[in-house]
Amino acid sequence: MKRLDGKLCLVTGAGRGIGEAIARAFAAEGADVIVTDKDGASAQAVADDIGRQWLRLDVGEEADWQACADAFPAVDTVVNNAGVTGFEEGMSPHDPEHVSLEDWHAVHRVNLDGTFLGCRYAIRAMREKGTGSIINISSRSGMVGIPGAAAYASSKAAIRNHSKTVALYCAEQGLNIRCNSIHPAAVLTPMWEPMLGDGPDREERMAEFVADTPMRRFGEPEEVAALAVLLASDEAAYMTGAELTIDGGLLAGSAVAPSRD
């Protein structure tokens, strides 16, 4: 018996990075996975490789979620993973003084609207059975301020709070639908490429990015996927409204140098 046998699990943004790792880990644990992404070709490639189904789904488009509900009216797990930093199309300023309203909205459209629509779809698609697991991928940036990524941090903080609202709403409704958030930091995926580049200073830049991380390394997408497997499984039956950090110790506190006294 595998940990996710018999469960139908939908993962957004699963064409690469953390979402892909989650889709692969779910399949390895016996789940029937729906691999979704805005980029249909990447979703199809992952789905073909693991022998599962796929769907083109832009999480910010309500019509795409409606098509998803028509195709998959019932589901056991939804992972709202798709997310953008806003730096994908080039490094426009994202600090609170210079970020444009257009960029601010574009990031919130995917990260926050996408998660809201994904949670709404999930509750409706789980209501009849009365049980399920919603997993929202927030970020360490949802717990602390990020001066250079204002929209990203704001959207991720809102995901953290909305997860708790969803958890409480479902409990209030007498539904056994759990909702939890995962808060990764510095996980080496294609999301980092615009910041790392492929120049000769790549290793140096990587070391700089994790210099403040107590474990002094990037996390692996598979390490985040392992948490998602736990939350999707019945092992986490008593967990709802929880936030799980996976950040090499970054949020545990500052590593203060020993006193000289």
Q: Which residues bind ligand NAD (CB under 6 A)?
A: 12-13, 15-19, 37-39, 42, 57-60, 81-84, 110, 114, 137, 139, 184-187, 189-191
- Which conformational region is residue 240 in: left (phi greater than 0), alpha (psi within -120 to 50 degrees), or beta? beta
Q: Quick one: 175 or 251, whose CB is closer to ligand NAD?
A: 251
User: Which residue's CB is nearer to ligand NAD, number 126 or number 218?
Assistant: 218
**Whether residue 238 lies in the annotated active site:** no
Q: How many CB atoms lie within 10 A of CB 138?
A: 28
CA-atom Rg of the chain in angstroms = 18
Report residue 186 as tokens.
Answer: 């510095």
Q: Which of residues 93 and 190 has its CB atom nearest to ligand NAD in the complex?
A: 190
**Residue 181 or 240 with smaller CB distance to ligand NAD:** 181
- To ligand NAD, the closest distance from the beta carbon of 64 in angstroms equals 8
Nearer Cβ to ligand NAD, position 131 or 214? 214
Entry field: residues in the chain = 261
Q: How far is Cα 245 from Cα 242, in angstroms, rounded to an integer? A: 10
* Shortest separation between residue 43's beta carbon and ligand NAD, angstroms: 8
Task: Report the distance separating Cα 42 and Cα 54, nearest Å.
Answer: 10
CB of residue 208 to ligand NAD, shortest distance in Å: 15
Question: In angstroms, rounded to a whole number, what is the distance separating the alpha carbons of residues 222 and 235?
Answer: 19
| Distance in angstroms (rounded) separating the CA atoms of residues 141 and 109 | 17
Least separation in angstroms between residue 24's CB and ligand NAD is 13
- Token look-up 């250079």 returns 148
Q: What tokens does 243 get? A: 């936030």
Min dist CB 6 to ligand NAD, Å, is 26
Write out the two tokens for 91: 């490094």
Catalytically annotated residues: 152
